[in-house]
Structure 1
Amino acid sequence: MWSNRAASSSRTTRSRSPISTSEPAAGQDTGDARERVASAPSSALAPPTAPSARKNASTPLPRFAGVGGFLVDLLLSIVLMAALSLLGTALWGFAQGLGGSNFAQIGADSGAMIVISLIATAASALLVYYFRRRSSAAERAASWRALWRMSTWGWIALAVIACLTFNALIGGFAQQRGIEMTPTNMVLGDAIRAYPVALLIFAVGLAPAYEELLFRRVLFGRLWAAGRPWLGLTLSSAAFALLHEPPGLSASHGWSMLLLWAVYGFMSLCFGWVYYRSGSLWAAYAAHAINNLIAVAAVLASS
């Protein structure tokens, strides 16, 4: 969610283990049964209904496999965000009106509008995840186990380093060209300095969680499960960038907006790659949270 610009001026297949829970036949040695259970192979981490699990893996995939579902998920997310934002704004205005504020005062409270939009984004992400691509208990358990592999933390570290390096390169380019890059979420700078603990909890704990559910689990996961992981990485990263810096609503424009899209798109690619390589959404969340922590720390350090 957070760009690191402040530093320079941020499935698994269901674990279908072949273990049987049936009782042994009369007279059968239960020790043999235990032995078969112990030797059962562990299932590999892969997205649900991955192409490798299809009956005929040689059958070519449809050209636009999963794209329809991706577009439905994305459109549903946008509609929910807009509807919940309007509802939140209306309730906020009504409450402020009861307190004696006029329309101009209510409209000028940009901080409240940002908070409302963030809450709307979180709520829509949770709703789309729950009703469209909710994970099973077995998938969640496999994702948690995968987080503690040494290789997983290697991918997390590599993703964070890549994000920081790319952000620094983009920041240097912008500085040389005299381009002022102002991420929309940086309007929260004063709030970060006034309430650092609350904003750390939000930026490091909450925002990465609901964003990973929406952009990685739902959007990227939809195309990954359909056998189009590269298309999924590309489209979900484009959506991540556009929803962070929406045209017409962003604080930036022109070259500034294009560079911010590049920053956010690259971040999303890195987090999606971590998810793809590790099979753990927890790993993508960890990379995202560490990136946001560094970005918020840079803002606090510069104040």
Structure 2
Amino acid sequence: MLSRLKWMGLAIVLFILDQLAMGYATVVFGAKGYLTLPQQLISWGLGLLVLFLVIWFVRREKLFSRSDFLKPSNWFIVAMGQLILFGINMVGNLVMLFEGGKIAQNQANIASLFDALSPAFLFLFIVIVAPLYEEVIFRYIIPKGVFKGYEKIGFVVGGLLFALVHSPTNFGSWILYGGMAAIFGWIYYRYDRLSISLSLHMLNNAIGFLALLMNHL
């Protein structure tokens, strides 16, 4: 029981730190309409703190090595996963269109930050930090730590929490984030390699980041 509580505490600490990094920028920008240089530096500092803590944890747990990202077989799985995610995104966006045409709240929040933060920071956070900490928390700590011995339940709980933290506000956004959680979780459960689900998560976020960046230009 104590071990499970430690895992849960670690997940909560990482989650809070990550939310502070983006939440701080969101709150300040929402109040003032801009971020001063010191405020941007604080956002950078919080984001890098989360990144370093997660990297330290990954190295301690030996979750993957750099060579894992170079295996052609892994990237074939990533490519197939991304094709499935394209389909899920199409269905989710189509449903949201019928629900009133609103985009997912999480996407709207991120899009608004392009006026407040540099593209470099948003790239760091969206493409690297967020996928890394989310995969560690929702695909490793919760299923393998908190629910050790009951991993199948843990993957379901981790997937539901993953969807919830992305603030789904309608059925279409539940399809988007619930579908993503299902694909990421199934890949890690099936292949037991966090590097594969992480690579897919990063690729998917990179595509989303580029789309938001092009729309902002």
Name the TM-score, length of structure 2 as normaliser: 0.71
Distance 1:219 1:168, change over 3 A: same
Matches within 5 A, 1:116-155: 119=46, 123=50, 126=53, 130=57, 134-136=60-62, 140-141=64-65, 144-155=66-77
CA contact (8 A) 1:233 1:272 kept: yes
Q: Does 1:259 align with 2:172?
A: yes
Q: Does 1:177 align with 2:90?
A: no
CA contact (8 A) 1:240 1:264 kept: yes
The RMSD of aligned alpha carbons is 4.3
Matches within 5 A, 1:141-290: 141=65, 144-192=66-114, 195-222=118-145, 226-245=148-167, 253=169, 256=170, 258-290=171-203
CA contact (8 A) 1:81 1:121 kept: no
CA offset digits 1:194-240 (Å, max 9, x no partner): 7323322321122212222222221233368x343432221111111
Counterpart of 2:7 in structure 1: which amino acid?
D
Name the TM-score, length of structure 1 as normaliser: 0.53
Distance 1:223 1:274, change over 3 A: farther
* Unpaired stretches in structure 1, ≥5 consecutive residues: 1-65, 93-104, 246-251
- 1:295 matched residue in structure 2: 208
Counterpart of 1:278 in structure 2: which amino acid?
Y
In structure 1, C-alpha distance between the alignment counterparts of 2:160 and 2:121, rounded to whole Å: 29
Counterpart of 2:122 in structure 1: which amino acid?
L
Q: Does 1:78 align with 2:12?
A: yes
CA contact (8 A) 2:64 2:195 kept: no
In structure 1, C-alpha distance between the alignment counterparts of 2:215 and 2:74, rounded to whole Å: 32
In structure 1, C-alpha distance between the alignment counterparts of 2:212 and 2:179, rounded to whole Å: 21
CA contact (8 A) 1:125 1:213 kept: no
How much does 1:287 deviate?
0.5
In structure 1, C-alpha distance between the alignment counterparts of 2:187 and 2:212, rounded to whole Å: 26
Identity %: 25
Matches within 5 A, 1:30-69: 69=4
How much does 1:294 deviate?
0.8
CA offset digits 1:225-257 (Å, max 9, x no partner): x34343222111111111222xxxxxx64xx2x
CA contact (8 A) 2:143 2:150 kept: no
In structure 2, C-alpha distance between the alignment counterparts of 1:175 and 1:277, rounded to whole Å: 33
Residue 178 of structure 1 aligns to a residue whose secondary structure is coil
State how many pairs are aligned.
209
- 1:10 matched residue in structure 2: none
